[in-house]
Amino acid sequence: MYGNYQIILLYIVLGIFGLIYGSATIFLNIKLQIKGYLT
């Protein structure tokens, strides 16, 4: 039971980091595209 709880918590943390990383990557790509269009 305790081990399962730790694994679930680990997956939640990894999922949150994945979402943050994905959002940051998309945001940077859009920013670079906008810079490309402006120049």
The predicted-structure confidence for 1-39, as pLDDT tens digits, reads as follows 677 899 999 999 999 999 999 999 999 999 999 888 877
Q: How far is CA 30 from CA 1, 19, 21, 34, 35, in A?
A: 43, 16, 14, 6, 9
Q: pLDDT value at position 16?
A: 98
In the prediction, which pLDDT does 37 show?
A: 81
The reported pTM is 0.59
> Which tokens is 1 given?
């039971």
* pLDDT given at position 38: 78
The pLDDT assigned to 25 comes to 96
